[in-house]
Amino acid sequence: MSVRRASTVALLALSGLLPACAPRATQPPPPAPAAAERVGVVYREPADPAHRKILEEARGQRFLERVAEVLGVVQLPKPLTLSLSSCDGTANAWYDPERGTVTLCYEYLAEFRQLAAAAHLEGAEARDAANGPAVFVLLHESGHAVFDLLQVPILGHEEDAADTFAAVLLLKLGRDVAFHVLRGAAWSYGQEAAVRTLGEGDFADQHGLDAQRYYNLLCLAYGSDPKYFAPAVQKSRLPEDRAEGCREEYHQALFAVQKLIAPSVDPRALERLRVKHGGAWDLGR
């Protein structure tokens, strides 16, 4: 389970998962296996005809393929499939370890669009509210898959770790990309927190409260680049006493990615992405 929204997005250049700690080839690398050989994608026909436009846009933008390309640089011991599917009217997303699939529901995507439209936002804010959570939710669920397949040790709640995994990847894709996606994801948490009446089930749930997840995302973004993200954080009212420790929180999360996930990156696939997309992303920053 993950943040409660999803939408089709002109999916950012997700090829930014380029850990500096993975060795770089000094000679042109031999052809690496295609990302699809490690991470496949499936666009299933929607049960609701109203969702066909979502399918067409997702296919046209190669939404799942772009995520698969990034995840494909990680040497996963078993195949993983990203699936866009109908879910019997339920707006959700999840990782299924038995089937080796990450499923994103058309209902989730439609709900994101509806919520953004209902908020009467305009311009970039409207696009971020509809699109940002879609990227975040897919990376969040992919984080569960990576933890499982690589047997990454988790200290604390796995849902928190999956949020952190997604946020760190987005921040390493580039601060401009991260700004729009994380702003949208944080907005969705903030909206949910504002209208939801908390009960015992919310406090007992393995997920953090929406308000907590909202502030956690703000803190990681601010900690990655306090100067760049300062205006957004001030507007979102991140408490000063929390903001003071955000730089350390971000680097702690980054260190965990370096130690636990980056060693499993395939240097040949990594170099192909460097050549294809240009920029060298430095996880040691």
Burial class (CB in 10 A: 0-12, 13-18, 19+), 130: buried
Q: Are 49 and 246 in contact (CB under 8 A)?
A: no
> Residues of the chain whose pLDDT is less than 70?
1-36, 195, 202, 205, 209, 270, 273-285
Query: Among candidates 143, 152, 151, 136, which has minimal Cα distance to 102?
Result: 143
199/184 Cα distance (integer angstroms): 26
**What pLDDT is attached to residue 10?**
33
* Amino acid, res. 189: Y
**What pLDDT is attached to residue 261?**
92
In this structure, what token pair is assigned to residue 216?
Answer: 């956690």
The DSSP secondary-structure symbol of 262 reads G
The DSSP secondary-structure symbol of 73 reads T
Residue with tokens 């939710």: 137
**What pLDDT is attached to residue 38?**
84
Q: Secondary structure of the chain: what % helix, strand, coil (to 5)?
A: 60, 10, 30
237/146 Cα distance (integer angstroms): 33
**What pLDDT is attached to residue 147?**
96
Q: What is the pTM of this model?
A: 0.79
**What pLDDT is attached to residue 267?**
80
At residue 265, the 3 state secondary structure works out as strand
Q: Which residues of 183-200 are buried (b: 16+ CB within 10 A; e: fewer)?
A: bbbbbbbbbbbeeeeeee
**What pLDDT is attached to residue 28?**
46
**What pLDDT is attached to residue 44?**
96
Residue with tokens 């999803």: 6
**What pLDDT is attached to residue 160?**
93
CA geometry: angle at 181 spanning 261 and 39, to 5°?
40
